[in-house]
Amino acid sequence: MKGKRSILRRCISCRKIFDRFYLLKITNEKKSGIFINSGIGRSAYICRTKICTRNPKLKKNLQRALKTNFDDKFYEVFIIETQNYE
- Pick the stretch among 9-17, 24-32, 65-73, 77-85 that binds Zn ion (CB under 5 A): 9-17
> 29 or 75: whose CB is closer to Zn ion?
75
Assess 77 for contact with Zn ion (CB under 5 A). Answer: no
Q: Which residues contact 72 (CB under 8 A, 6 or more apart)?
A: none
Task: Name residue 40's amino acid.
Answer: I
Q: Which of residues 27-66 bind Zn ion (CB under 5 A)?
A: 47, 52
Element (H, E) at 53: helix 50-53
The residues that touch Zn ion, with contacts defined as CB under 5 A, are 11, 13-14, 47, 52
